[in-house]
Structure formats: structure tokens, C-alpha cells
Structure 1
């Protein structure tokens, strides 16, 4: 389709674990430019920049300057690739890993940027996969259960290790000097949008999506009560009341206009609309053109998040969160996930001292379903859904002298698929319909074996969305909607999503299951669940890790 100067364009910025992706897409769904830039410091897991002191176990941090530098480079590269003029861009949308959070001064300066805190790990942004708050999470859960806090019903009865308040409490207890100096606590996605639009802390835009799924917030009740937070720790309650300013905005709602300084950094015109942030995985739902209930959208990358819209609310044990309008307006958004998917595959590759999965994947797919008795539990970074326990560990069983690297890989692929099947069982048993599956993100394109195994284990077709940038496209959809109907032509987010991201029936890539393996996988899935039960029982018997 020829590019028309009359068709508006939106920029989507997708902040992942290792890099940021920028996509420019017009109102008819034509991707005009796509670019990705890695963060200079990546995941900070060994030691802080310029510091040789090893970080504690389970720490995962990032450098906030990387987010701006990489976003600027990616945006300029996408704009150059597109060949369009920047004045066609009407809106900017942002999605971000969550919960990635940080403490700042009241003007937004990250505390890690101050000389006195440059060598203090907990002054740096805590990446979503930072698992240092195990003790704090357990205490928050104990107090919530003792008090029978109503918010637990929205989160399957469990506060997650990766969430906002456990990470805040970790800093209060382990780095009190940082907590005392903090004037604002916020999600990284909100921080970046704040940088885009400027303004003071009282007006900083906070995402209802990030707060709803990761910070115990709801539209009806706000954040968890002061009484509860102070029952956990007096300083936690004080910080929640005094150090979390801002206004709550839904994804797609206009957070403000692009300020002059950031417009210059990004190479964009100032004054264009900026949407409130959304969680990266949630952005994948509009990013694949899905606006209806019943479709499980699997955003597959370093970890995987699975989003499902439903017409009704049900409290389902083990579900990471249910937020009304949390993904799309008018529907209840259910979030589930797996804490290690691409990360687990990369770990195995490193363990086997291999450079790529190419030959290994070919060998693995020749092994029969069930991996010749090798069984894996894919909890290499804990279990998100349904246990919400970051301290459990993974396992391989059924090893012998005949076991090959290909067996290990296939069993890990199968374990990841069993994890999804367990999630689907939890949803359906809780009365939430799951009718179809859509996969997006880079992993389904770079590793088709993953999707085939998933389809076989689920005994269901899986649609692979053609764009590798589902979340980035979703962010662009939100940026387009934030621009308003006069600029974009769209009255609803659903309209924008269908126009910009849906795929024609004839162009859909459908991975069909091999139903000959259904009986085998039913049997091995039961073994997987039994191994999970045994692992949890052993952990409980051994006491806290």
C-alpha cells in the first residue's frame, strides 16, 4: 500500500529486559520503521557500573540513563528507516517491564545518579526479575492473610515477589539511608513518561495498569490501606502516603504533550500526545489486534506473560492479578505468567557451552514426545503462576548415561509448555473461558520449536502474530488513541487495535497440534504436576530458602 501523507503515524516504545524497541506504524497498520537498541549496561546482576563489589544473590538492576539513551537512538533509527517526516507522528505510546521501579528526588532525578548513592545497589532501579525481597514479600503476605485483606481476592490470594511494595520495603529495611532520601517512589514506565511530558511530581502520570497489577491498587479502593501497610512497617505506610504523588491514568489516556527537551533527544516535534504507560506484556494484546474476551495472548520473551480478557470477575487462586479495564476498557484483564522462558533456554545454552539452538533444536524435535523419560521442572527463576513463589527451584529427572543435550532441551521446551497448560487449567477451573491462543514477541519467530511443542501439549491451534514487535505495536496503538479522534480518526482503543494490528484471515499463521501425541502428553503432564508437588513439599520440609 503506498504511503499517504494523510495517514497519521504513532510511535511505540517497548522497553524490554535487554533493550528498547521503537516502531513507527500508521493508522492502517503499515509498519514504516522498526529499530532496537540494547541498553549500555544491560541487566546489572554482577556488580554496579564502575564498582567491582559483587551484588548479592537474586539482584537484578538497571541504569535509568540507558532507557533514555537507547530510546533516543532507536527512535531516530526507526524514523530514518521509515523515510517519513517527523511531523506525521501524532502520538507516542510507552510500554515497560513491570514491576521495574526506582526511588527519585522530587524533580525526578534517580537516586543512583547522585554521587553519594552511586555505589549503593538499592538506590538503583530494581528490574522486574529482582528477587531480593523474599523475606519482605513473605511478611506482607502473612500480615495480609492475618488481616483478611480484601485486595487478596484480586491477586489469587498472594502478593508477588516482583511487585512494588515488597521492593520498597526491601529498601526501607536494607538501605534506610536510600529510603530516607527518596522523595518519590514510582514504576520505571511512569518515570519515563514523566520525563517525556515534564511537569512537577504532583502531576506525574501513574499508570493504572502498572499500579493495578503490581502495586495493590484498584479504581474503587485505591492502594492497599494505610492501616495494612503500617501494620507491615510504619515507614512503608508513611512512604505510601507521602512519597507516591501523581495522577492515575489508564493506558491510552493522554498523559501530556512531548516536552521540548525530550523532543530534541528523540528527534520528534514537541507537543505531540504521549499516552500513559502500560506493562510491556499487556501492550501485546492491542498489539496483536485482540479486543475481545476469551483469547489468551502469550507474550513470549525472557519471561512470558499471558493476558486474557473476560467479561466477568472471578477470584482465581494463583492468578497474578485481575484488574477491571486493566488491559482494555470494559473487560476484566487477567494476568498470568512464567518467570523464566527465554531466560531458561539461554541458561541451558550457556550450560551446554553452545552458541545457538539450531542443530540442538533439530535433534530435539526428532526425539519422541516425553523426551524418552527426561522430565524438567522449569522453575529456574521461581514460579509465577500459579504459585507466585520466587524461591522455588527447577529440576531435571529421569537422567541416564544415554541422556543427550537434545533431551535436556526438549524436556525444557515441554516443561515450559506444561507450565502454560497448568495456567490454562487454573483459569478454566476458576470459571474463566480460554477459547483460543495467540503468541507474540520475538521468541515465537526465532524459535518455532517452542510454539509447536506448546500447541502439541495444549492440543490446540496457536496463532503466531506476524509482527515480532507485538508490545511495541500495542504501545503505538495507545499513542495513536491518546492523540484523540481528531488527529487519529479512532474513537476507541479497540478500533485502533483492529485497524493497526489485526491480521486478515487469509494471512494468519496457524501452528496446528500433533494430536497423535495427546495421550503421551496427558500422561507426562500429570508427572510434571506431581514433580511440582514434590518439589514444593521438599521446600516446605526444608524451611525457607
Structure 2
């Protein structure tokens, strides 16, 4: 009987189920939307507006949508469910929730159904602005050693700031919470069961979004107490569980969840992984040195290495954060695809084609028009969501093509800055791989990236790299291959020669001055921070 693994890719609006066999052949796939989608305006059944910057979800949606998607994928594949040997799960992060000791979300208890802080806070929830600022200020004043793993900045979207927000704004919810955990860990816990003390927590989610490290654990009790005594108590007592790297066995599928999903009970379930990070095994990056760029509305760049280096401006470095036995580095750009869509809307364009065609007629450098692409803040290297973007060098001659090309070049310059930071910090990069929807739909943008960096970029053929990566991790958990690397090499398709985008030497030379202009703009709009990462 053929061995097949299931990958569950939990996004912001829906979940995708992908079934892949041991050769990496996609056997079936299906997507199911969450009934409540993103809860942004009011809670289900309520007309009371949510506070500003809130973004919530319904945990029951995750279970229900997964059941629909898995059954549909099995039907499309025509598989005997007994062929499925393992399950992998990737999830948006940091999406988090409070539960009772048995894993019941507090929002499912009648007394908390109308309390927003009892519901899962989606990754994009930005309600903890003041709490994040205070945590950063106190960590900096105390010269906390954990900051060096995160480029000196705690992120607004991370676990402890969201916990502290509830502790201060909804103390009755915080008091009732026995467990705080990520949505990905909660879903895996539902799949495998067990007491809270043994729930499987992903080193990926804990490391990048909850300030945890394999050598030091969480930051000190003294630090959290300096921020808020209630936060210190919560970290001490309400983050139970086992830390497991993606691909390690979290447990076995319970009878209850097997019946809901239409799968055999007892199959292996992998520890969860952050959705973008799942693309690393999905594109075949089994070892160190490959920078995997998942390019969509924003971009997340992941890299594995054999050594831990602390690089200013990095979003995080975590041992076992992406794959076991390697140090995973994360960087990112806060606005890529959504910046292009914003520009299209701003200019009243019905599609990208006309702008792209006009941009293609222009030489590198967009005839002097320059852009700083911080239209949703700067993630790497400055980790500052308050920063803003700009266009400069405009004249009456400039049109939509100039703006489009300048924005493309700015996005590429932002990536070059990230690559230079990593290499200067002693983290090797020997290959660039592009994944996600944007590189498949916008080859011209990838060419600009290659020209600005002066290096080739491989566009991986996988259209659903995170879902495939989750399936690969499910196969790793099932133990069908001797090593993680062997599993990835067997299941992830290689990049064909024609998918490599080579830099144009003439354009690469011209882009040297464009990149210098980009760095000068960064110095102008964020002088202190820009100098710290130079």
C-alpha cells in the first residue's frame, strides 16, 4: 500500500488540505473557508463593535473547516484512508488563545462568549501596542540577553504582549485561563489529545513568537515581573507542555478526530510549524544555506544554518525552529504584494498589466524615481511598524510605470539589505529560492530582484509550498525515511533549469547606485535605526 501524508495549511481565511505520496506526487487537495473568517468588527451574534486594531478568529472554524477539506481531498484523490500514515500542520503565527486545562477555548464557555479577549487573537491583531512598547522598554533598560536573538525588538504580534493585553484589559479572562497557547499547537493538541502538561508545543512557534530558546527557556521571571507580576505568574504556570521541533512526533491521531477527518486512528502527527516556515521543506531546502523567500502580500525569508549567530535587525534565530538539528533564521518585508495592490488602487488601475508594461519600457532606476517601500512599516531590519514609505525624484514626466518600477526596485533593495545583513553577520547564503504566489505571477519582479542582488534566483514550481511542506513533516513524523533530509529530497520537486532567473550584468551594474540611494532614503526616514544596522 502506498504511503501518503496529509498537510494541513491554516491560513487567515481558510485551510488547505494536501495529500502527497512518498515521491512527492500531489494526490489530492481541497480548501475550506472558515465560517466566520476574520472577526474584525464584532463577535458572532453581537452588534457591539470590537475595539480598534482587534483581529480574532473562531477555534471551532479550524476544526470544522479541516474536516471538510480533508474529506474533500480524500475524495478527489480516490484514496483508501488507510494509505495516510502521517499528518503535518502549519498555522498562521502568532495566532493565540486561552483555554481551560482540558483545552476548551474560553470563548466557548457561555460566561466568556461576549468577551473579545477570550477568543483567539489572529496573527494580525494589533491591540497590544502599549504592552509591547513597555516590554521592549524594560527589556532594553535591563539589557535582557534574550533580545539579541530577535534583533533587539519584541514584536507587536507575539505571544506575551497579547497575553499581557488580556491580563490588563480583561483580568477575569486571564484568571480563568489555565493555558495560553498558539493556534497551531492547540489544533495539534486536539488531534492527539492528552493532558495540558504534555501538550505538544512547537519550537518554531515558541522560538520565533514567544521568546523561548532551547538553551535558556523563556526570559527570566524577574524580567516578566518587572513588566507585570501577572505576566510573570502566567509564564510560570500557564505555558505547560513539551517542546518539539517540526517533524517530531507530537502524538497519534485520536479516535474522535480520526472519525471527524475520515482518517485512521493512531497515525503519526507532527509538531506544528509556522505557515511560511513550512515552505522550507516544501521547496526542498533540506540543509543549510538556502534563503527561501515566501513572497505574497508580505514576504517572509527563512534560512537554515549550522551555527547560531546574533544579527542586529533579525526577526529571530531559533534552534530547531524550522527543521530539527539546524538553527533557523527568519527575516521579512512587511509589504510586498499588498504594496503593489495599494499602488494599483491609488492610481485607479483596473489591473497590473498596463503598469507592468509601462515599467518594462523604462531602464533600471526608473529614470530617477526612487522609492522606500515601508508602506506597512519595516520588518527587517528595523522591526518598526510605525515607519512610513515614500517616493522621491518625481516630475511631471513620471507616470504609473515609473512608480511601479520604483516600487519593484525598492522591494528588491529591501531584500538585498537583508541578505547583506545576514552575510555580514556570519550566516552563509549560497542559494536564493522564491516561493509563494507572487513569483509565479510576476516573473518580471523576480528579474528585478535577481538584478538588484546580482545573483540567480530559483523559482520553485510548487504552487502550494507550505501545504506540501506540512505534508513532508507529516511523513517525517511517520518515519518512512531514515532522515529528515532524505524525506525532503524524496518528496520536494527539484527546481528545473528553466525556472532559474539569472541576473543581467548590465542591469546589475546600474542598480548599484539605486541601492545606494535606497540606503540613503532609509537613513533619512529612520536615521538612528538605520545606522544601528549599518
Q: Same fold (TM over 0.5)?
A: yes
Q: Tell me by how many angstroms 1:381 deviates.
A: 2.4
Please report the TM-score for the alignment, with normalisation by the length of structure 2. 0.93
CA contact (8 A) 1:417 1:457 kept: yes
User: Given the superposition, is the C-alpha separation of residues 405 and 14 from structure 1 closer, same or farther in structure 2, using an over 3 Å criterion?
Assistant: same
C-alpha separation in 1, matches of 2:163 and 2:422: 30
The match for 2:454 is 459
1:498 and 2:499 are equivalent in the alignment:
no
User: Given the superposition, is the C-alpha separation of residues 453 and 72 from structure 1 closer, same or farther in structure 2, using an over 3 Å criterion?
Assistant: farther
C-alpha separation in 2, matches of 1:94 and 1:338: 24
CA contact (8 A) 1:161 1:388 kept: no
Q: Tell me by how many angstroms 1:431 deviates.
A: 1.5
The match for 1:543 is none
C-alpha separation in 2, matches of 1:253 and 1:450: 37
The match for 1:511 is 501
Structure 2 matches for 1:14-413, cutoff 5 A?
14-413=9-408
User: Given the superposition, is the C-alpha separation of residues 528 and 267 from structure 1 closer, same or farther in structure 2, using an over 3 Å criterion?
Assistant: same
Q: Tell me by how many angstroms 1:354 deviates.
A: 4.5
* Selected match of 1:437 from 432, 435, 441: 432
User: Given the superposition, is the C-alpha separation of residues 84 and 514 from structure 1 closer, same or farther in structure 2, using an over 3 Å criterion?
Assistant: same
Matched position secondary structure for 1:312: coil
C-alpha separation in 1, matches of 2:343 and 2:201: 38
C-alpha separation in 2, matches of 1:87 and 1:476: 16
CA contact (8 A) 2:89 2:273 kept: yes
Q: Tell me by how many angstroms 1:373 deviates.
A: 3.0
User: Given the superposition, is the C-alpha separation of residues 299 and 191 from structure 1 closer, same or farther in structure 2, using an over 3 Å criterion?
Assistant: same
C-alpha separation in 2, matches of 1:437 and 1:155: 22
The match for 2:513 is 523
User: Given the superposition, is the C-alpha separation of residues 368 and 56 from structure 1 closer, same or farther in structure 2, using an over 3 Å criterion?
Assistant: farther
CA contact (8 A) 2:247 2:323 kept: no
Q: Deviations over 1:77-105 (max 9, x none)?
A: 22122122111000000011111111122
User: Given the superposition, is the C-alpha separation of residues 522 and 113 from structure 1 closer, same or farther in structure 2, using an over 3 Å criterion?
Assistant: farther
C-alpha separation in 1, matches of 2:12 and 2:351: 20
Matched position secondary structure for 1:61: coil
Q: Tell me by how many angstroms 1:417 deviates.
A: 1.5
Matched position secondary structure for 2:526: helix
Q: Tell me by how many angstroms 1:533 deviates.
A: 2.2
RMSD: 2.2
CA contact (8 A) 1:465 1:508 kept: no
Range with greater deviation from structure 2 (313-322 or 369-378): 369-378
Count of residues in correspondence between the two structures: 530
CA contact (8 A) 1:209 1:250 kept: yes
Please report the TM-score for the alignment, with normalisation by the length of structure 1. 0.92
C-alpha separation in 2, matches of 1:69 and 1:456: 45
Range with greater deviation from structure 2 (235-244 or 123-132): 123-132
Matched position secondary structure for 1:330: coil
CA contact (8 A) 1:287 1:474 kept: yes
Q: Tell me by how many angstroms 1:333 deviates.
A: 1.3
C-alpha separation in 2, matches of 1:160 and 1:263: 36
User: Given the superposition, is the C-alpha separation of residues 91 and 58 from structure 1 closer, same or farther in structure 2, using an over 3 Å criterion?
Assistant: same
Q: Tell me by how many angstroms 1:232 deviates.
A: 0.9
CA contact (8 A) 1:103 1:123 kept: yes
User: Given the superposition, is the C-alpha separation of residues 526 and 192 from structure 1 closer, same or farther in structure 2, using an over 3 Å criterion?
Assistant: same
The gaps in structure 2 that reach 5 residues or longer are none
Q: Deviations over 1:422-469 (max 9, x none)?
A: 110111111211111001122221332332221122111111111111
Matched position secondary structure for 1:396: strand
User: Given the superposition, is the C-alpha separation of residues 104 and 430 from structure 1 closer, same or farther in structure 2, using an over 3 Å criterion?
Assistant: same
C-alpha separation in 1, matches of 2:55 and 2:274: 18
Matched position secondary structure for 1:421: helix
CA contact (8 A) 2:358 2:400 kept: no
Q: Tell me by how many angstroms 1:343 deviates.
A: 2.8
User: Given the superposition, is the C-alpha separation of residues 68 and 453 from structure 1 closer, same or farther in structure 2, using an over 3 Å criterion?
Assistant: farther
Q: Tell me by how many angstroms 1:491 deviates.
A: 1.4
User: Given the superposition, is the C-alpha separation of residues 369 and 53 from structure 1 closer, same or farther in structure 2, using an over 3 Å criterion?
Assistant: farther
CA contact (8 A) 2:382 2:529 kept: no
C-alpha separation in 1, matches of 2:109 and 2:162: 20
Q: Deviations over 1:153-192 (max 9, x none)?
A: 2222222222111111122222323222222110111011
The match for 1:3 is none
Q: Deviations over 1:102-135 (max 9, x none)?
A: 1122222222333443443333222222222222
Matched position secondary structure for 1:91: strand
CA contact (8 A) 1:17 1:302 kept: no
C-alpha separation in 2, matches of 1:313 and 1:538: 26
User: Given the superposition, is the C-alpha separation of residues 330 and 389 from structure 1 closer, same or farther in structure 2, using an over 3 Å criterion?
Assistant: same
